[in-house]
Structure 1
Amino acid sequence: MAEYLNVVARIRALQRGEAVPIVAQRQVVIQPHAFIVTMLSMAGEDTSVHAVAIGRFGEAPTIKVVADPRRRDDQYALLRWLLPHFETYYSQCLTEGTFPQLWVSSEGALGHLDTLADRLRFTDDPEVQRLGVLWTYAGERSPVAGQQALISATAALRAHYATGQQEAEDEHLGSLLTWIDPPRGRDIFTAVAMAEDQPMGAKTDPWFDANELQPAVELFNQARKAEDGASKNFHETRIQQLLEGVIRPIYSATQRAIAILSASRWQPNSALDPLAEQEAAAFAQFMDARSQGYHLPYRDSPKAAAFKIVARERAVANVEAGYLRHDRAAREKAVESGTVLRATLVDMHKVKLASWVFEYPVVLTSHQDSLHLRAGDEFWTLDEPKLSIRITAVERRGPFSWVSAMVEDGRRTIMRLEKGTVLDLGPKAPDWGGQAREFQQMGLRLTNSPWTHSDTVPGSAPSNRLRPNDLLAAVERLV
């Protein structure tokens, strides 16, 4: 059902000829000192940086272009030029007790930066290695639910708006911004088609590469080999101008995306506060480990990989639970999909089992069509008052579901509620400190590596039980 809401929003955007907001609250933390990173790679050289534009939110870009990134010395010179900018920014964030936030134009640009971070860590140049390490913080955080360190402008905008085009087309930042703020008096699809002519990722246009950029690079290399300084400088300047014409609009579009999301129309979202705190803690931990000399490995050990999986699973659960409590759009989507129970309190009792021992059965009704309930499930209220229930039975009666449950927490509270009270129930509140406890428990369990991660295979342990003559018949009797 929640998918239908997205479809309806896109149909509405198509009818209006402009994007429609799908939330009222801001969905991402926006650091006032956000750092915009726009990079272009050379065609066929995915791990290169042909041009880069960097700057803080609200500032003009600082642009650096290398004529031919295939020349290692020139490429490393550009990367060494970048290092002080990021070291200064990271040091400032660490001193202020906050975290750095890098903005890129799209998911493709995000993947480009992540790939560079992974490759640069293992170069033979200490300064380039250092840059790769700093970028690795953002790259490793990017797949973690609720992370705020590396933000794609298209992903952030899609969390706030629905357009009248396909979701894959929303990855072009120019077309997405055109839907959000379409030019007046012009057909939306004509405007979008014009916007799509401008590259907005980490790659330049193939026609531009073949007809303008490649000839200029070739002439530059010919002049360099001929040691013709004047011609070399001319073609180097030409390449600079060509790539600046591509990279400046991408940088400006990213700035524009942040400005749209910083507008006062978006209401505060309390679910973002713990995410910012978690990000600051993760950043401080990352920098502390680097200062103590711990190196980032090329591949994680089985133990480290297990810890990262646990951390990501915990993050998913905490982020979902946090948004359900503080984000109204997320709550309504969960109600439509049936993962949140919105029910009316019909009856409650206090039953004495023994001296000073009581239980509190309750009955609730809901008209939701697609509930995901079964006996034994536990639900917690998403608002005040705080209480939890354990489902004992679910019965469908006409258009209503009747839910019987036992109160687990908040037993005194339930008796003060009036019949007819509507409750929203869902997963338990976020446990941001639970990750440390899980790590400690896993550390004890993984003191000795399991046989699945060692070279020793345990011996066979044959069963002493008698084997039936007809194994198939014995299995069928179990059904």
Structure 2
Amino acid sequence: MSALTALARLRAIRDGVAQPITTVRHCHLAPNPLVFVPLRLAGEAAAPLGAMVGTDPGHPRLLVVPQPRNRDLRFAFAAELAEVVLPYIEGFGKTTEIVERKGGEPYERCLDAPQILVPNRQAVAFAGMLGRSTRFRRSDGPYPVHPSVPLLGRWLTYFADRWQQPGSALLLAATEALGAHWATGQSDLEDANLAALLGWIDPPAGTTGSRAAQDAEDPLLWPPAGPATDPGFDNEVLGPAIRAYEEAPTERAVERVAQALRTQLEPTWRLMWRAADLLRALPEGSRVRDRWETDRGSFTRFVERVAEGAPPQARRDGAVGAAARLAGLERARASYDVQRAYDDPLVMAEYRLTGEAFAGTVTAADPEHIEGEGRSRKLRPLITVSTDDPVRLAPGTAVGSPDRRGHAAEIVEIADGEITLKITKGMGRSKVPLPGSVPEPGERVTYTSLTDDFQSSAALPDPERTPWTHGGPPQEYVPSDDDAQEEWS
């Protein structure tokens, strides 16, 4: 936990309400996201019990498995879920645009992409497990399933994989998104309770966040957000309803289970849309759109992969694929951290405390300063910034400014709170700098050593040249019946 977040938590306790730790929203929020609230059977990691899903807050669809241990009923649930999820996803693949790029061929990209909202990290894990348990199933042969089931599994696996990509918004967990923008007066573990978290952020009139969070701990008022259910509910309500179905599998018995699950899902369904409204009320960060374009590109490529009839995702990555994926995740994390800081002065303040950034006032400027002679002459304006921040950067360090895109400078000298900077980029190509490209005396500026210009990862060998120390060249992956034997749990 950072120092500023710790301070915000203390202020939340003092004031009785969660404190904002950002000034903008750092995640994309679709106009019409698909909300998915799943429940699973206790003790079974991926055996679905029920779900509430849809894009309309007033008309959710309730899906129920009256006996989760029944294999046919589980896959019937998956087929019903596919009836909702697949049309929503496929609707975004129908409209595309042509994107021009420098030094490369134009390519096609979907105009928009789907977004799925779930309550918490556990629901993300459940979606991934459900995808893993269904994507290898077949519509023919022994134990056939509806053709939509393996396709749903591939998409759920894709969304769960994208969730691991820092900055991606194709799959969002409500508790994670809210916790990234507000600090409460409770622990991170307690923040995993969606009702308690929202109680701190938006307490009812006349009460405090801590009081609202305590009320949220009552499972009768606010059942767990899933996928696990409350043990008391399991023993006193769900268990008898499932046993009644086993004794007499009638429509009335199914409705009894459905009514029991509805009481557990509807409160969380309301909380999900309340969370979406709170996030949507925040102004969007300027670089959120860039990350969403990356998501759109990834979605487009997977749409093409599915359309081409490619096999489902393998159960395990090969050595080269795993190394490439890890490098991509590390780069995405570093880039996401930098973009958040550039978008948000509150996030940048964390780096000012550590000395990786500083803010101050320009006290002097020489916009026409020249370096070199003859053909090597270069325009290198100088500015002096006065700051009270603890600067821990050495002369020669390259820095950028969140206030000016494409702007770059180099630290020339640091002395007694006065920092001399040499502007190296972002002035135009003429012999004099473009108007406004060089900060003027009296202007408030921020500079940091954080940069989004990272070196490319080390070259990896082709998969067929995987060294023997890493298992040697992998065999070509061909889905088999063995894949479909994967257990739900």
In the alignment, is the contact (CA less than 8 A) between 2:361 and 2:387 conserved in 1? no
* Alpha-carbon distance in 1 for matches of 2:237, 2:438: 76
TM-score by length of 1: 0.81
Q: In the alignment, is the contact (CA less than 8 A) between 1:35 and 1:56 conserved in 2?
A: yes
Contact 1:336–1:368 (Cα < 8 Å) also in 2:
no
Deviation at 1:72, TM superposition (A): 0.1
Residue number in structure 1 paired with 2:350: 333
- Residues 228-269 of structure 1 deviation map (CA, whole Å, 9 limit, x = unaligned): 45xx44433322211111011111111111122223xx2242
1:213 aligns with 2:234: no
Cα distance change, pair 305–59 in 1 and its aligned pair in 2 (3 A):
farther
Shift of 1:403: 4.7
| Change beyond 3 A, Cα 1:188–1:326 | closer
Question: 1:61 is matched with which residue?
Answer: 60
Decide which of 123, 136, 147 is 2:137's aligned counterpart: 123
Pick aligned residue for 1:449 from 466, 478, 483: 466
Give the Cα separation in 2 of the matches to 1:191 and 1:418: 50
Measured in 2, the distance between the counterparts of 1:455 and 1:67 equals 47
- In the alignment, what sits opposite 1:323? 340
CA distance 1:130–1:418, change in 2 (3 Å) = closer
Alpha-carbon separation, structure 2, partners of 1:84 and 1:93: 16
SS in 2 for 1:210: helix
Retained in 1: the 8 A contact 2:113–2:299? yes
CA deviation after TM superposition for structure 1 residue 63, in Å: 0.1
Aligned: 1:423 with 2:445: yes
The Cα shift of 1:386 comes to 4.6
Shift of 1:186: 4.2
> Which residue identity does 1:357 align to in structure 2?
S
Give SS of 2:350's match. helix
> Displacement, 1:384?
3.1
What's the counterpart of residue 171 of structure 2?
150
Partner-residue secondary structure (3-state), 1:270: coil
Instruction: Give secondary structure in 2 for the equivalent of 1:53.
Output: strand
2-side partners of 1:451 and 1:367: how far apart?
55
Asked if structure 2 preserves the Cα contact closer than 8 Å seen for 1:361 and 1:404, the reply is: no
8 Å Cα contact 1:380-1:388 kept in structure 2: yes
Counterpart of 2:67 in 1: which secondary structure? Answer: coil
SS in 1 for 2:94: helix
1:88 Cα offset (Å) = 0.6
8 Å Cα contact 2:174-2:194 kept in structure 1: yes
Q: Which residue of 2 aligns with 1:136?
A: 157
Shift in CA distance, 76/57, structure 1 to aligned 2, threshold 3 Å: same
Give the aligned partner of residue 123 of structure 2.
Answer: 109
Would you say 1:298 and 2:315 are equivalent positions?
Answer: yes
Report the equivalent of 1:236.
254
Calculate the aligned-residue CA RMSD, in Å: 3.1
Please say if residues 387 and 413 of structure 1, whose CA atoms lie closer than 8 Å, have aligned partners that are also in contact: no
- Structure 1 distance, partners of 2:177, 2:385, is 37
User: Which one of the candidate residues 285, 290, 304 is aligned to 2:301?
Assistant: 285
The aligned counterpart of 1:184 is 205
Provide closer, same or farther for how the CA distance between residues 237 and 418 of structure 1 changes in structure 2, counting only shifts above 3 A.
closer
Counterpart residue number, 1:475: none
CA distance in 2, matches of 1:233, 1:17: 48
Give the direction of change, closer, same or farther, for the CA distance of 1:442–1:195 in structure 2 (3 Å limit): same
**370 and 209 in structure 1: CA distance in 2 versus 1, 3 angstrom threshold:** farther
> How far apart are residue 430 of structure 1 and its match?
4.6
Matched letter for residue 50 of structure 1: L
Q: Structure 1 residue 356 and structure 2 residue 375: aligned?
A: yes
Alpha-carbon distance change, 177 to 417 in structure 1, aligned in 2, over 3 angstroms: closer
Segments of structure 2 that go 5 or more residues without pairing to the other structure are: 96-110, 139-144, 474-489
The question of whether the paired residues in 2 share the 8 Å contact of 1:172 and 1:201 is answered with no
What count of residue pairs does the alignment treat as equivalent?
437
Q: 1:328 to 1:215 in 2, by over 3 A?
A: same
Q: Give the whole-Å Cα distance in 2 for the aligned partners of 1:313 and 1:450.
A: 23
TM-score by length of 2: 0.79
- Aligned residue identity for 1:28: C
Alpha-carbon distance between aligned partners in 2 of 1:57 and 1:22, rounded to the nearest angstrom: 30
Identity rate, percent: 27
Contact kept in structure 1, 2:398 and 2:411, CA below 8 Å:
yes
Whole-angstrom distance in 2 between the partners of 1:189 and 1:283: 41
Aligned to 1:28: 27
The match for 2:106 is none
Change in 2 beyond 3 A, CA 1:303/1:455: closer
- Structure 1's 93 and 234: CA in aligned 2 closer, same or farther, altered over 3 A? same
The CA deviation at 1:53 is: 0.5
Which has the larger helix fraction?
1
Higher relative contact order (CA 8 A, sep 6+): 2
Task: Supply the distance in 1 between the matched residues of 2:252 and 2:439 (Cα, whole angstroms).
Answer: 80
Q: Does 2:288 align with 1:262?
A: no
Between 1:377-386 and 1:135-144, the stretch displaced more is 377-386
Tell me, in whole angstroms, the C-alpha distance in 1 between the residues paired with 2:202 and 2:408: 45
